[in-house]
Amino acid sequence: MLRDTLKTLLAAYGPTGSEHAVAEAVKGLLEGHVDSMHTDHMGNLIVEKFGSDPDGRRVMFSAHMDHIGLVVTNIEKEGFLRVSNVGGISPAYAWRRKVVFGDGTPGVCVVEPNPKDNSQPGLEHLFIDIGAESREEAEKMVQIGDIAVYAPDFIPLGKHRVASPAMDDRCACALLVEMLLYAEDQKNTIVGVFSTQEEVGLRGAGVAAFNSQPDVGLALDVTAWGDTPEVKYPAVKLGQGPAVKIMDRSMIASPSVREALFEAALAAGVQVQREVLAYGGTDGGAIQTSRGGVPTGTLSIPCRYVHSAVETIDMRDMEGALKVLLQFIDRV
- 168 forms part of the interface with Co ion (CB under 5 A): yes
Nearer to Zn ion, 221 or 317 (CB): 221
Which does residue 314 touch among Zn ion, Co ion, none (CB within 5 to 8 A, set by kind)? Answer: none
What positions carry a catalytic annotation? 198
Residue 278: CB atoms within 10 Å: 10
- 311 forms part of the interface with Co ion (CB under 5 A): no
CB of 168 to Zn ion, least distance (A): 4
Residues in the chain: 332
DSSP 3-state assignment of 239? coil
Partners of 247 in the β-ladder: 252, 276
CB of 140 to Co ion, least distance (A): 33
CB of 199 to Co ion, least distance (A): 5
> Binding-site residue total for Co ion (CB under 5 A)?
1
Nearer to Co ion, 168 or 283 (CB): 168
| Amino acid symbol at 5 | T
The piece of 95-103, 162-170, 210-218, 315-323 that touches Co ion (CB under 5 A) is 162-170
Handedness of CA 208, 210, 215, 216 (dihedral sign): positive
As a whole number of angstroms, the distance between CA 264 and CA 247 comes to: 19
CB of 53 to Zn ion, least distance (A): 32
Which does residue 319 touch among Zn ion, Co ion, none (CB within 5 to 8 A, set by kind)? Answer: none
Chain residues in the site for Zn ion (CB under 5 A): 168-169, 221
As a whole number of angstroms, the distance between CA 245 and CA 297 comes to: 7
Nearer to Co ion, 248 or 330 (CB): 248
**Residue 167 burial by Cβ neighbours in a 10 Å radius (0-12, 13-18, 19+):** buried
Residues with Cβ within 8 Å of residue 259, at least 6 apart in sequence: none
Residues of this chain that interact with Co ion (CB under 5 A) are: 168
